[in-house]
Structure 1
């Protein structure tokens, strides 16, 4: 077996350096957990859904008035298309119910 070379090796970390690294790691872990708890909370999810729905409604309004769908952000374009489809399906269902009620 070959002997490890000591010329290129860095000195082992001191006790204080290790303690500082552990403290930094704990702080980072705490921050990460706080972010996850926030992102998974129902109120945060509801606010995100409300924000994206409002944005989709604004995008649909722009589309209807001739502004087109947002090309720069595919997610916004997709959300606007979903909202347009839901509105069309709702209108079709309402029309079906009214026509059926009139025929009776």
Structure 2
């Protein structure tokens, strides 16, 4: 059960200066959070992240083709490499179909 509030056990009310400092600190945190969100949502940031992930997937796919295997500890990297390998296989199949059809004519 909680104790009733009496003048002896009540916490002192924050001073105006303490409240102003808390508001300033909260505004600074909010500003920093908004800056991070704006950065992460910007098209250039998204493009850079996509380029980085694609390069990493290409490197992982190359390692797989040369016998190095796929990354075991990072499921996202493994999936990205598999998607890239699948897209490459589909592209190769398409090229084969086009070449075979062209030769038949």
Fold match (TM-score > 0.5): yes
- RMSD of the TM alignment (CA)? 1.3
**CA offset at residue 38 of structure 1?**
0.6
Distance 1:18 1:71, change over 3 A: same
Partner residue, 1:92: 93
Instruction: Work out the CA distance in 1 between the residues paired with 2:10 and 2:90.
Output: 69
> Normalising by structure 1, what TM-score?
0.92
Pairs aligned (count): 102
Q: Unpaired runs of 5+ in structure 2?
A: none
Q: CA deviation at 1:8?
A: 4.2
Cα 1:17–1:91 change in 2 (3 A) is same
Q: What TM-score results when the alignment is normalised by the length of structure 2? A: 0.91
Structure 1 equivalent of residue 77 of structure 2: 76
Query: How far 1:57 sits from its partner (Å)?
Result: 0.5
Where in structure 2 are the equivalents of 1:10-21 lying within 5 Å?
Answer: 10-21=11-22
Deviations along 1:31-57, whole A, 9 cap, x unmatched? 111111110111100000000000000
> Structure 1 stretches of 5 or more lacking a match?
none
Partners of 1:5 and 1:39 lie apart in 2 by 47
